[in-house]
Structure 1
């Protein structure tokens, strides 16, 4: 693949890939870093790329790098939990601190167990404070689809937090 062809592909897909990563990761700087990594990996394999399928190839790389990031972040988080020994506030009882930490862990596990589409919509709404209409526009789906995903996410979270975890 020629440099000019690769530059054209980069110009066409960099921002959509970065946005895709942002919605999965919720961090603009991290999304930019991983988007750059996507294109570095594509550049390394440029001789094997078929231009007709380059879009799906790039999104596959982006998705795989996101999965790797979450696996790495989970490992780091678990290590930090073992290493950290936070000093509770004087107003917090040890029981309250323990319950708060247990609930935070339950919530984290519950969010992680949502389907990807539910998790993306839930986090975009609850973390990024986006409206259903804004989410629908960014994900290129209908507002009804956003409502359904959010309803399913909330129901799944209720069940997971109250019963399973």
Structure 2
């Protein structure tokens, strides 16, 4: 009878529901934090596998925290490789533009690159909070829960990100 409270997340239906409700958010969080979609997918899967393997040791109320901790630690273990990939992508020569392309397509592509660079220039904390809010549509209190910080800290990070982006975008023009 001792194991009954601990087997809550080990039940297939419970785990499946937990996966469905948290997988996309975890993947997006990892993508925003580390900038690599494939790595975010892989780490999300690895984190859920580790949760399943350790489900008897993880109480249901701590499962989300366990999941994010495992995912974050796994990503940090791969960060050296990630830096090489990001450096390469920044230094890679731009694809050859077709001389027949309209000017607005070229300008749009240049602006996208500049915007991505501006977002990439934000601190990790600002970028994560900003993208979780603007892309995923998360509320400040949801972001605070995901990042393990206060709502006030989320407000400060997003405000700082907006100020930095405004400054960088004005310099682009």
- TM-score where L is the length of structure 2: 0.56
CA distance in 1, matches of 2:100, 2:131: 29
CA distance in 2, matches of 1:67, 1:87: 40
Evaluate the alpha carbon distance shift between residue 157 and residue 86 of structure 1 in structure 2; reply closer, same or farther with a 3 A threshold: farther
**1:147: which partner in 2?**
155
CA distance in 2, matches of 1:80, 1:142: 41
Task: Provide the secondary structure at the position in 1 that maps to 2:165.
Answer: helix
Q: What is the aligned counterpart of 2:117 among 109, 112, 118?
A: 109
CA distance in 2, matches of 1:86, 1:118: 38
Deviations 1:40-93 (A, max 9, x none): 9xxxxxxxxxxxxxxx998555224245336425635765842575985xxxx4
Evaluate the alpha carbon distance shift between residue 128 and residue 58 of structure 1 in structure 2; reply closer, same or farther with a 3 A threshold: closer
Check if 1:120 corresponds to 2:128.
Answer: yes
Task: Provide the secondary structure at the position in 2 that maps to 1:99.
Answer: helix
5+ long unaligned stretches in structure 2: 1-9, 11-18, 51-68
| RMSD over aligned Cα atoms | 4.0
**2:82: which partner in 1?**
69
Aligned residue pair count: 130
CA displacement at 1:123 relative to structure 2: 0.9
- TM-score where L is the length of structure 1: 0.58
Contact 1:117–1:149 (8 Å) recurs in 2:
yes
**2:16: which partner in 1?**
none
Contact 1:22–1:31 (8 Å) recurs in 2:
yes
Contact 1:34–1:65 (8 Å) recurs in 2:
no
Contact 1:112–1:119 (8 Å) recurs in 2:
yes
